[in-house]
Structure 1
Amino acid sequence: MHARIILAMAALIALLPGTAPAQEGPAARYAEHCAACHGGDRLGAIGPALLPDNLGRMKPADAVALIAGGRPATQMPGFADRLSGAEIADLAAYVLAPPAQEPAWTDADMAASHIIHTAPAALAARPVHKADPLNLFTVVEAGDHHVTILDGDSFEPLARFPSRFALHGGVKYSPDGRFAYFASRDGWVSVYDLYGLVPVAEIRAGINTRNIAVSADGRFVAVGNTLPRTLVLLDARDLTPLKTIPVVTPKGSARVSAVYAAPPRKSFILALKDVPEIWEIATDDKAGPAYGGFVHSYEKGMVEAVGAQQGLFAVRRIELDEPLDDFFFDPSYANVIGASRDGGKGQVVNLTVGRKIAEIDLPGMPHLGSGISWILDGRRVMATPHLKGAAVSVIDMKDWTTVKRIDTLGPGFFMRSHEATPYAWTDASLSPRRDTIEIIDKRTLEIVRTLVPSPGKTASHVEFTRDGRHALVSIWEDDGALVVYDTASFEEVKRLPMRKPVGKYNVFNKTRYSEGTSH
């Protein structure tokens, strides 16, 4: 039955405009073998979009192997028995090349993709499980495109369900922790009910999406897109589209490199990839001059709001010296600490005055999105790993000077801690020592322990339970695992097999803005 449905859909899609086979070459082979599942315009259908940005860092050799052998645990078949090696190589080059014309994704396209899985009246009144709703983890398993809901006390799975292709590991939650929000690389946004353990709704908000954020009041979901170059605002209840904001500046349009919620400011903060600006989007109906000054003069480095100058979804633009690719916020959300991928310094931008107030010495491409902070000797410091340097930088957040640069075994991606532990955990996942986790004493800034959860396999992304007594480490392999450690003894407590667990976040720590995890 399932096969007949797919064949019927293939026949229908083949009749749509843009899906007719070309006369010859890889475009013809794409139309014949791929368009039914991936769309005649390569924007996706049953399968994901096949565009360079959506395929991430996939190498030509990997694309060839995938086309030839198929993808396990999916409906993607292999074509080695139907196409020659040269034909497969040409087809791989075709899907890895940008299309002749940049594809569009309209509000009508978005609305047509909207799916309601569970009506509001059918949602559970209370949790259907006995686990602590605030001590759950959502684990994104990229190996076979599934999500596991994990009890953070028993470390037993409560549910496991298929996800969209290439789901972003950074799940977001509603303020009360009931709903989890996911985004895929090819623009699908999903909301899942952690009480009833059921999907609620989905919508495709773009062709290539960078990430999402949920407003502090739980009313809105912001979707930052690189294709098209838009910010999309959705109703958090069922993902109904509310507003699409083109990311256009006097210097041209820009891709969104990240979007974050700034709870104390009742706003979203956007980083732009192509233009030296950050944007602040009001999520409060009364935002305007009386609140944070959303309308500013050009003399202060500001540009007037796009559309409405005050009120809900008003846009404030702050001009900078160079684009920022990554963000870290101080606990008050008054200051944004950002860095560009090509620069050796970080910028501190004060959102109240709307300008850069300091620079930080941050060589080696810091990964500020995974930074943490804590109190050291009476002053707040922040720490960040470096993507191109074997070090962790510790920065004084009052005068923005470097307190210490801690040498590590190699460049790392994630650093994590918790208020209940004196230790910070960091990986070396971008180095030959990728199988190690180093533990830093936050009081002395010395490395006190090195763990090797699985020799030879990438260890990454530590996250803590609600009480901070346990740390979960991802073995970032297709035959990977979650390894649970006691944070006092550093002894392994439990190991759960997982298919490349790329992201996992604790509901309590994420919704309560723990200083030890990303927001």
Structure 2
Amino acid sequence: MPSHSKNQELLLVTIPHCCQTLARTLLLAGALISTPALAQDSASSDIDQLYRQQCAACHGPDRLGGMGPALLPENLSRLRQTEALEVIREGRPATQMNGFGNRLTEQQITDLTDYIYQPPDHELHWGEAEIRDSRIVNHPPGSLPDKPVFQVDDLMNLFLVVEIGDHHVTLLDGDKMEPIHRFASRYALHGGPKYGPEGRYVYFGSRDGWITKYDIYNLKVAAEVRAGINMRNIAVSADGRYVMAANYLPHTLVLFDASTLEMLELIPVRNDAGDSSRVSAVYAAPPRNSFIAALKDIPEAWEIRVQNDQADIRRIATDTVLDDFFFDPDYKHLMGAARDGKQGVVIDLDSGDTIAQLPLPGMPHLGSGITWEYQGRRVMATPHFRTNAISIIDMENWEVIKTLETDGPGFFMRSHENSRYAWADVFFGPDADKVHVIDKQTLEIVKTLQPEPGKVAAHVEFDRHGEKLLLSIWDRDGAVIVYDADTLEELKRLPMDKPSGKYNVWNKIHYEEGTSH
């Protein structure tokens, strides 16, 4: 590996500590990319030059990211263009993004904003060499103490709260409901963190393709690697040995050693005809000792088993391209939402056969579905992105037994085996400041809460025992609200910066029936 100069090292010490490791990696690797230079035609040369002068040092000459996030349309999907314009003009607090309002004209700021929301005019590449060169190992396995540096009653009742307002994560004591530690994350975490089976390590995935292995016991980043340019999510195998990443760009799945984040295999996602596909998501299927991948552009689902550090892929043909997946608790059946947003299908994972069609108009969000026992049978409930409804499905005969009318289209549902209630938000409607509480035995909405009028209320997560739960006020001046799961009384509020997901160690490791998997 090449060395860097004293001048480069001097540059590093002027960068905040949180960015030094990445900056050093960029210097050592020479570059994060292996793509051609941007085309310089007469219509684009001025804006290309402006970008290179003002933005490339932090965001990369081909917009793939560096110390700052990637500036590509797919990676910016969570940021409205008007908001991006304001960030360029005013900067972003608590980051290295300074405002350009005193250096650029308003037209230049508008041109830059338009530029980053347009796809590049050349092919972007992120292959094996780029992945390997991106890996950062701060603390090799065995180099840190095995005992936590903090005191709690139950290490399995910890929460991680992702705060997307300023890209931080808070570690929370689930017994006392008090913060333990807050640390910076990569830009735009996506897909939810995944815990190793021991509960010590957690793995985060970002839209920019970064995988971060975090040691909860020592409150330190152990290792990082960049799996792709635009990544959907990651999964950790049931035995904790492997991490798999699902990419939109490039069209790949990537297998890593979980202990070191060393890349084991780069898997192009193509069918027999050579057509490639984005990967919607990848999931661990513990009872099957496998991963399941959902494909965005090809009517297939892939089951992947890892043997001798190599992926063995089984392709399951589907009747249509599926956008969203849900699995029954035994992982014998896969429920998929069709792209037309009007139906779902049920696939027997052993035979690969489609065994049922589900009438689910309104684009069901199956990934947020939950199950419970109802009158001796297991049912599954899912909200819908486009319809004011929650569908409740009998998982023995695959019939919709009830449709609950809600105050708006929803995003998340949550419950717990020990709770009589399920909670559902109405995230996409005009009444997004409300949340419904559903009695799981009467299948009725028994209460509608409005925790903070005018501010979005979303995403519930229960504690290990199902006795308390956390609800987000999804706002820069937001909070996590702690409720008594039985009485539905508010217990306390913890101020946070646009908290999105909350993830309980026990529930996630043990695949609690009321939480997403």
Residues 59-68 or 480-489, more deviating:
59-68
Matches within 5 A, 1:171-182: 171-182=193-204
Q: Against the structure 1 CA distance between its residues 28 and 140, is the aligned structure 2 distance closer, same or farther, given a 3 Å change threshold? A: same
Within-5 A mapping of 1:26-175 = 26-131=47-152, 132-168=154-190, 170-175=192-197
Give the counterpart letter for 1:262 in structure 2.
A
1:118, 1:107 → 2: CA distance? 23
Does structure 1 conserve the Cα–Cα contact (< 8 Å) formed by 2:283 and 2:292? yes
SS in 2 for 1:354: coil
The alpha-carbon deviation at position 26 of structure 1 amounts to: 1.0
1:115 Cα deviation after fit: 0.7
What is the rounded CA distance, in whole Å, between the counterparts of 1:350 and 1:177 in structure 2? 31
Please point out which of 256, 271, 274 is paired with 1:249. Answer: 271
Q: How many percent identity over aligned positions?
A: 55
Letter in 2 for 1:58: L
Over aligned residues, Cα RMSD in angstroms? Answer: 2.2
Question: Following TM superposition, by how much is the alpha carbon of 1:6 offset from its aligned partner in structure 2, in angstroms?
Answer: 5.0
Could you say which residue in structure 2 is the equivalent of 1:260? 283
Residue 500 (structure 2) aligns with: 502
- 2:38–2:62: 8 Å Cα contact kept in structure 1? no
Instruction: Give yes or no for contact 1:19–1:35 (8 Å, CA) kept in 2.
Output: no
Which deviates more from structure 2 when the two are superposed, residues 210-219 or residues 312-321?
A: 312-321
Q: Secondary structure at the match of 2:311?
A: coil
Contact residue 19 and residue 31 of structure 1 kept, 8 A: no
Unaligned residue ranges in structure 1 (runs of 5+): 286-310
Deviations 1:313-352 (A, max 9, x none): 1001111111111111111101000103423111101110
Q: What does residue 475 of structure 1 align with? A: 473
Q: Are residues 169 and 452 of structure 1, via their aligned partners in 2, closer, same or farther at CA, if it must alter by over 3 Å? A: farther
Closer, same or farther: CA 19–74 of 1 in aligned 2, 3 Å: farther
Aligned residue in 2 for 1:225: 247
Cα deviations across residues 458-507 of structure 1 (Å, max 9, x unaligned)? 00000000000001001111111100000111111110011111111101
**Corresponding position of 2:488:** 490
Q: Structure 1 479/57 Cα, relative in aligned 2: closer, same or farther at 3 Å?
A: same
Closer, same or farther: CA 341–495 of 1 in aligned 2, 3 Å: farther
3-state SS in 1 of match to 2:142: helix
Task: Read off the aligned partner of 1:373 and give its amino acid letter.
Answer: T
Closer/same/farther in 2, CA of residues 6 and 133 from structure 1, 3 Å limit: closer
The residue identity in structure 1 corresponding to 2:83 is: D
Task: Report the more deviating stretch, 195-204 or 34-43.
Answer: 195-204
SS at match of 1:248: coil
State the match for 1:337 in structure 2.
335
Match of 2:303 among 270, 275, 280: 280
Alpha-carbon distance between aligned partners in 1 of 2:509 and 2:82, rounded to the nearest angstrom: 41
Partners of 2:191 and 2:233 within 8 A in 1: no
> After superposition, what is the alpha-carbon deviation per residue over 1:370-389, rounded to whole angstroms, capped at 9, x for unaligned?
10001111111000011111
Between the aligned partners of 1:384 and 1:457, the Cα distance in structure 2 is 23
Which has the larger displacement, 264-273 or 48-57?
A: 48-57
Residue from 385, 394, 397 that aligns with 2:395: 397
Normalised by the length of structure 2, the TM-score is: 0.92
Matched position secondary structure for 2:165: coil
How big is each residue's C-alpha offset from its partner over 1:70-128, in whole Å with a ceiling of 9 and x where there is no partner?
11111111111111111111111111100111210111111111111212232222222
Q: Which moves more between the two structures, 23-32 or 480-489?
A: 23-32
Counting matched residue pairs gives 493
* CA spacing shift, 1:21–1:81, aligned 2, 3 Å: farther
Contact 1:221 1:236 in 2 (8 A): yes
- Output the amino acid matched with 2:178: E
1:196 & 1:90 partners in 2: Cα distance?
45
Deviates more, 1:128-137 or 1:272-281: 128-137
CA deviation string 1:165-192 (max 9, x = no partner): 1112511111121211100000000111
Aligned partner of 1:327 in structure 2 is 325
What aligned pairs does 1:192-231 form with structure 2 within 5 A after superposition? 192-231=214-253
**One of 271, 276, 280 as aligned partner of 2:294:** 271
Any idea what SS the aligned residue of 1:89 has?
A: helix
Is the contact made by 2:241 and 2:257 (CA closer than 8 Å) also made in structure 1? yes
Query: Deviation of residue 63 (structure 1)?
Result: 2.0
CA contact (8 A) 1:483 1:494 kept: yes
CA 1:156 to 1:394, structure 2 compared with 1: closer, same or farther past 3 Å? Answer: same
- 1:293-312 correspondence to structure 2 within 5 Å: 312=310
Q: Secondary structure at the match of 1:122?
A: coil
Distance in 1 between the 2:468 and 2:189 partners?
Answer: 26
SS at match of 1:92: helix
1:266-318 deviations in whole A, cap 9, x for unaligned?
10000000111100000355xxxxxxxxxxxxxxxxxxxxxxxxx94100111
SS in 2 for 1:325: strand
User: 1:430-445 counterparts in 2 under 5 A?
Assistant: 430-445=428-443
Structure 1, 236-245 or 125-134: larger mean CA deviation? 125-134
Distance 2:303 2:417 in 1: 29
- Which residue of structure 2 lines up, in the alignment, with residue 304 of structure 1? none
Q: TM-score, normalised by structure 1?
A: 0.91
* Mapped contact 1:21–1:29 kept (Cα < 8 A): no
Unaligned runs of 5+ in 2: 1-9
Residues 154-210 of structure 1, C-alpha deviations (whole Å, 9 max, x = no match): 111111111111112511111121211100000000111122222111001111000
CA distance in 2, matches of 1:58, 1:225: 19
